[in-house]
Amino acid sequence: MTISKQTIDELVALVDESRLVGDLSSMVSVPSVNPFDEPVTEECREQEFAESYLQHMNGVGLDTFKRDVADGRPNVFGRRHGSGEGPTVMLAGHLDTVGVEDYVDPFNPVVSNRKLYGRGSCDMKAALAAYIEVGRILDHAGLTLKGDLLIAGVADEEHMMLGSKDVSENGPIPDFAIVGEPTELEVCHAHKGQLCMHIKTFGKASHSSVPENGINAINHMADVIKSLGQYGDDLLARPAHPVCGHGKVTPCVINGGSISSSVPDYCELEVDRRTLAGESLESVIEEYRQLLDSLKNSVPNFDYEIGPHTLNNLPLDTPADSSVVTSIAEAYQHVLGKPAPVGAFPASTDAPHFLCPAVICGPGSINQAHTLDEYVSIDELCASARIYLRTVLNMIS
């Protein structure tokens, strides 16, 4: 059915602060720290949190399902079926949080000064709570909309993004996605990708009293780092993306040599590359190869290897005039009474892995995410639920 503007206003007015704060508090109190390849600790209860989120979705009448993306690490989904005449809009968020080392009482949600404190409050259980409120209001209204509302809680965003990458492979692929990472409700329709790659140089060991008998892999890596500096300058000379700016390259981790009396025969560098739409794993490897081949031609005995890559998160480049971007910007304007700021998100997210036009817009600030004093503004939490509900109703009713 098509619903009137007045009905939309009435439904949006039902968003309830105390329910949102209650839901978010209960979510913060279930630790879901990402294990990051380390031994699992008491706080790594992502699966338990996933199950509880599934129960939240069940509780608001969604048709739920789940799929493990790794051992004991499920993605969970809830669907509110429409009549099949409209698009499927997915509200997606990650279930995991970063760690809590040195964080005092991270899982005891505290409300103070119109803020809710605790690990995951802003990144990004606030959005997950807002999605539940959207589902709840639609459930109470009992309307059959044209399209489907799909809510997704995905695993492992903070590390390898296994959850969203599994959605790329195994679905469900929606028509549009909204990802409520903390943007202070700015509408972000693009971000860079992140590609982490190893580069290795090889030399020949010798006693360091006679270094001329060896080939120093660290010296060769110094040449690589210098070339990467030039490559970084070249990236800045290329045309900028309208909202993301330029691609970047940064040497981040280096290892080489074993003892000081030996010329090192091996050195390894991990390079972080922030990519723009149109760049890929293959195109970046090709650029590294050109740079390293040119060293091979100019530096005696230079020997290298590229790979493996340790991370490949895609860039997001949803057109600013895509209906998911314009709908959420309109909803922002309606709820907050001012034009929505529109731009790029600074970090990479799950959004491009959903393989559809996607936008990032959520409560909380990236400045509070990952800190030892994480919080979300309760006003933004409530506004986000209103914005999501209005956007969903505009897109699927």
Residue nearest to Zn ion (CB): 123
Q: Which residues, in sequence order, are CB contacts of 100 under 8 Å at separation 6+?
A: 31, 33, 43, 106, 107, 119
Taking the complex as a whole, the smallest distance from the CB of residue 111 to Zn ion amounts, in Å, to 21
Q: Is 51 a catalytic residue?
A: no
Q: Which is nearer to Zn ion, 23 or 181 (CB)?
A: 181
Q: Which residues, in sequence order, are CB contacts of 131 under 8 Å at separation 6+?
A: 91, 93, 151, 180, 388
Q: Is 96 a catalytic residue?
A: yes
**8 close to 26: Cβ distance less than 8 angstroms:** no
d(CA 302, CA 291): 12
Residues that bind Zn ion (CB under 5 A): 123-124, 181
Q: Which is nearer to Zn ion, 245 or 346 (CB)?
A: 346
For 368, the token pair is: 């509070």
Taking the complex as a whole, the smallest distance from the CB of residue 258 to Zn ion amounts, in Å, to 38
Q: Which is nearer to Zn ion, 30 or 235 (CB)?
A: 30
Taking the complex as a whole, the smallest distance from the CB of residue 92 to Zn ion amounts, in Å, to 11
For 213, the token pair is: 């008998």
Taking the complex as a whole, the smallest distance from the CB of residue 349 to Zn ion amounts, in Å, to 7
Instruction: Please tell me which residue in 46, 157, 158, 350 is annotated as part of the active site.
Output: 157
CA 51 to chain centroid: 21
For 67, the token pair is: 């799929």
CA 186 to chain centroid: 15
Taking the complex as a whole, the smallest distance from the CB of residue 279 to Zn ion amounts, in Å, to 23
Q: Which is nearer to Zn ion, 124 or 195 (CB)?
A: 124
**201 close to 257: Cβ distance less than 8 angstroms:** no
Instruction: Please tell me which residue in 23, 43, 46, 96 is annotated as part of the active site.
Output: 96
Q: Which is nearer to Zn ion, 166 or 350 (CB)?
A: 350
d(CA 125, CA 127): 5
CA 84 to chain centroid: 30
d(CA 376, CA 182): 9
So which residues are the catalytic ones? 96, 157
